[in-house]
């Protein structure tokens, strides 16, 4: 299996982390989205139509959308709860991540870290919604160890991607003790060095 990804992108790293955690073999094809260098033909012409991340299975079939990819790769593993309702709560977090967290926390981080925008020039509405997302996580993590109960799941992998880099988008986690505790525990569980 090939993973087409950019290591600057949390969405891409989610896929790498799941493969590493589950010891799934893969080769990483690095696509630098900020570079003028053209992407390899095998990627541009794939059925995923140039979206990142994309995985290409050994038989050539392609799958895009980070959370759909990790849900597929982790099927049958401990990263997806066996209980149907717990799995549904995991899905709730996965959809919420793409709709209510990533468009604010990740976008602010991209604008500051890669486009060089100062924090004072960020869209105040995006900043406000980013903090609202962090507050929702804090509310949950104040009462459970991970996002879906006491065992790590794909919800944690997915939300970790940009939450651990929130400071690069100008977000201060000082008032989010449970989120900070959870970042450390999730990084450790995935064998990652601390992001800061």
Instruction: State the residues that interact with a second copy by CB under 8 A.
Output: 49, 57, 61, 63-69, 71-72, 75, 84-85, 87-89, 91-92, 94-96, 98-99, 102-103, 136
Q: Which ranges constitute the DSSP H helices of the chain?
A: 10-22, 41-44, 66-73, 84-96, 107-113, 124-141, 154-163, 177-189
Return the exposure string of 76-112: e unless at least 16 CB atoms fall within 10 Å of the residue's CB, then b: eeebbbeeeebbebbbebbebbeeebbebbbbbbbbb
Minimum CB distance to a second copy smaller for 139 or for 188 = 139
Those residues whose C-beta lies under 8 Å from the C-beta of residue 97, and which sit 6 or more positions away, are 67, 155, 158, 159
Q: Shortest Cβ distance from residue 67 to a second copy (Å)?
A: 5
Q: Shortest Cβ distance from residue 76 to a second copy (Å)?
A: 9
Minimum CB distance to a second copy smaller for 58 or for 174 = 58
Minimum CB distance to a second copy smaller for 31 or for 94 = 94
Q: Shortest Cβ distance from residue 71 to a second copy (Å)?
A: 6
Q: Judge contact between 91 and 41, C-beta under 8 A.
A: no
Minimum CB distance to a second copy smaller for 1 or for 192 = 1
Q: Shortest Cβ distance from residue 193 to a second copy (Å)?
A: 28
Minimum CB distance to a second copy smaller for 119 or for 135 = 135
Sheet containing 2-5: which strands, arranged edge to edge? 27-30, 2-5, 54-56, 62-64
- Integer Cα distance of 176 and 11 in angstroms: 23
Q: Shortest Cβ distance from residue 57 to a second copy (Å)?
A: 8
């Amino acid at each position: 299996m090939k993973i087409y990804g950019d290591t600057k992108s949390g969405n891409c790293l989610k896929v790498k982390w799941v493969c590493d955690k589950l010891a799934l073999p893969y080769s990483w094809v690095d696509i630098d989205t900020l570079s003028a260098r053209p992407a390899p033909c095998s990627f541009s012409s794939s059925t995923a139509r140039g979206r990142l991340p994309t995985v290409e299975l050994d038989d050539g079939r392609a799958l895009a959308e980070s959370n759909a990819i990790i849900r597929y790769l982790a099927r049958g593993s401990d990263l997806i709860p066996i209980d149907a309702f717990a799995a549904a709560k995991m899905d709730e977090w996965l959809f919420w991540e793409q709709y209510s967290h990533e468009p604010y926390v990740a976008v602010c981080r991209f604008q500051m870290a890669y486009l060089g925008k100062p924090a004072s020039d960020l869209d105040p509405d995006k900043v406000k919604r980013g903090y609202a997302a962090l507050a929702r996580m804090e509310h949950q993590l104040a009462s459970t160890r991970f996002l879906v109960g006491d065992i790590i799941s794909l919800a944690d992998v997915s939300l970790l991607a940009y939450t651990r880099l929130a400071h690069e988008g100008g977000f201060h986690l000082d008032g989010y003790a449970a989120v900070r505790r959870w970042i450390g525990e999730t990084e450790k569980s995935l064998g990652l060095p601390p992001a800061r």
